[in-house]
A and B are shown apart, each in its own frame.
Chain A
Amino acid sequence: MLEARDLACLRGERVVFAGLSFTLEAGGALLLTGANGAGKSSLLRLLAGLLTPAEGRLLWQGRDALADRAAHAARLRYVGHGDGLKPALTARENLLFYARLWNGEVELALAALDLLPLADLPARVLSAGQRRRLGLARLALGVAPLWLLDEPTTGLDAASVERLGALLARHRAAGGLVVAATHLPLPLPAAQELRL
């Protein structure tokens, strides 16, 4: 269970958001919407522990989530704006490092987003949508209860959105949590919406 209490975020001198609270139960999904610059990405980075909240607390199972950042990192997957890919490495090699880290199975992750035919191509030659899929394939590596997704469907075709939907449904059925920021419709049925 993830609980935010009165979170506030500062960027420079500017207050991006303040007094933000929500509770997300196991299997739940939270959709972050709002205009550009409303703080969706900042909130996701804050939930990931990449930013420190100016105020408020973030609780995981009732305990301070950010007290032990390594433990917090181990229970989450973050898909940010950048895909985190190295152009010189092949699709398979790009996943290999994370697979070792998280005890994941590279082939399964590649298959989950239909990337097997592209596995031995360097990420440099992949299209934007294919790169996005490769970034998302990290979700299928190992097990982490909290998924933080920043505009996950940007550049994806309908078939890939469907595959992501299946991945999200499986994750939630197993009790996983999803927080996603988006402008596009996401395959997240019965998600709470938080307007920033």
Chain B
Amino acid sequence: MRAWLSLLGRELRLALRHPADSLAAVLFFVLVAVLFPFGIGPAPEALARLAPGALLAAALLAALLPLDRLFGADAEDGSLDQLLLSGLPPSAVAAAKAAAHWITTGLPLLAATPVAAAMLNLPVEAWPAAMAALGLAAGFLSLLGTAGAALTLGARRGGVLLPLLVLPLAIPAVIFGAAGIEAAAAGLSARPYLLLLAALLAAAVPLAPLAAGAALRVE
């Protein structure tokens, strides 16, 4: 556990030295949310109707941005070999990568959610549900994305392959997340949808690192 925490600490320190990566994802997220009012027209009802789905789609796409370098940089400079020889099982290395991705990409997206939600005219009552849904969905995507990044490591055009592999699997998160935000906007409880989303996350926590670890081993 101590070794795992030092690996996580190393990943966070590295992310801190490259803040542009996290910032790019957040700006991408906000910009996509800004594009909707331009495309649809500023009719508040139409925007609010679209807001839940648009928020989730924008956030998941933004969270995908840093994923193709998740293992790539380490593989190129030889760090990945050292990590695989660190005594941590490959799945633990993958789990640390996923956790670091969530902290450095998912959390900043969460912080930017109110801005994006305001652009999309989402009722303020639904903002807490939106943040909860985005936090859970981003965690789910971090885990799926880590498995995808490990699988596409070393593949030609891995950066294109990765979203094709990961986004279809993220569909359930979009459905439950958007439904939760919609329920909250209508004054209903978002709880059942958020719980389903949390269940997805709970299933991915052990499975995705195992898949990623196996893929790293084979490489």
Residues in chain A within 8 A of chain B (CB atoms): 45, 48-50, 70, 73-74, 76, 78, 80-89, 93, 97-98, 100-101, 135, 138
Contact = CB atoms under 8 A, between A and B. Distances in A.
Interface string B10-21: 100110011000
B183 to A, nearest CB: 43
B78 A83 contact: yes
A83 B3 CA distance: 21
A80 B85 CA distance: 12
Contacts of A78: 81-82, 85
Given A93-B13, A97-B10, A85 B85 contact: no
B81 A88 contact: no
Interface residues of B, number: 22
Given A100-B6, A101-B6, A89 B17 contact: yes
Interface string B189-207: 0000000000000000000
B18 A88 contact: yes
Interface of B: 2-3, 6-7, 9-10, 13-14, 17-18, 76-79, 81-82, 84-89
Contacts of A45: 81
A76 B89 CA distance: 15
Nearest to A148: B85
B89 A70 contact: yes
21 contacts: A50-B84, A50-B85, A73-B84, A73-B85, A74-B87, A78-B81, A80-B78, A80-B81, A82-B77, A82-B81, A84-B78, A84-B79, A84-B82, A85-B79, A86-B14, A86-B79, A89-B14, A89-B17, A93-B13, A100-B3, A100-B6
A126 to B, nearest CB: 13
Nearest to A131: B77
